[in-house]
């Protein structure tokens, strides 16, 4: 059984921290317990209330995801990446131009409403309708 030495980097240190934060919460915990704290799989399984085999699998999959992220293969990190994760299809289907247009429209509306609040008198126009 191969044991890994505790990692000297902590979450938040550059690209490694970004890669860990891109993982789901449970996987982040498992990676932190294993690589940062240096805990054995059995102890992590007890903490996460999972089977040891499931924890090993979770850490292994997380390691593969982190590796893809750090090598620039992750679609989230590099749109031209060649990763095969579940999120690739969703990322590929996003029309960024349309999404930016929606956000721009929302910002314009908010700015309009904020400006109108400063110009219009403060009066409750809904009183007559109630």
Q: What is the pLDDT of residues 4-39, one digit of tens each?
A: 444 444 434 457 777 788 788 889 899 999 988 899
Quick one: pLDDT at residue 22? 76
User: Which of 1, 17, 42, 14 has its CA nearest to residue 34?
Assistant: 42
User: Which of 2, 59, 54, 57 has its CA nearest to residue 36?
Assistant: 59
Regarding whether 106 and 67 lie in a shared domain, the answer is: no
Regarding whether 67 and 101 lie in a shared domain, the answer is: no
Taking the C-alpha atoms of residue 89 and residue 123, their distance in angstroms, rounded to an integer, is 49
Regarding whether 91 and 67 lie in a shared domain, the answer is: no
> Which domain does 111 fall in, by range?
86-120
99 within 8 A of 89, measured Cβ to Cβ: no
Q: What is the pLDDT of residues 42-93, one digit of tens each?
A: 999 999 999 999 999 999 998 888 887 777 776 666 666 677 666 666 666 7
Q: How many structural domains comprise the chain?
A: 2
Rounded mean pLDDT of the chain?
76
3 occurs within a structural domain: yes
27 within 8 A of 62, measured Cβ to Cβ: yes
Q: Hey, what are 48's tokens?
A: 């996460």
pLDDT grade for 123, boundaries at 50, 70 and 90:
low
For a pLDDT cut of 90, what percent of the chain falls above it?
A: 20
Q: Hey, what are 56's tokens?
A: 């090993």
pTM exceeds cut of 0.85: no
């Amino acid at each position: 059984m191969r044991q890994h030495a505790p990692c000297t980097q902590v979450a938040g240190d550059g690209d490694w921290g970004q890669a860990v934060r891109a993982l789901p919460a449970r996987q982040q915990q498992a990676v932190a317990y294993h690589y940062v704290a240096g805990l054995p799989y059995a102890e992590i399984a007890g903490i996460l209330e999972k089977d040891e085999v499931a924890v090993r699998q979770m850490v292994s999959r997380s390691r593969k995801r982190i590796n893809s992220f750090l090598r620039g293969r992750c679609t989230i990190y590099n749109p031209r990446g060649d990763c095969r994760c579940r999120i690739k299809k969703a990322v590929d289907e996003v029309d960024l131009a349309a999404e930016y247009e929606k956000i721009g429209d929302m910002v314009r509306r908010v700015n309009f409403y904020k400006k109108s609040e400063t110009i219009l008198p403060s009066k409750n126009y809904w009183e007559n309708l109630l």
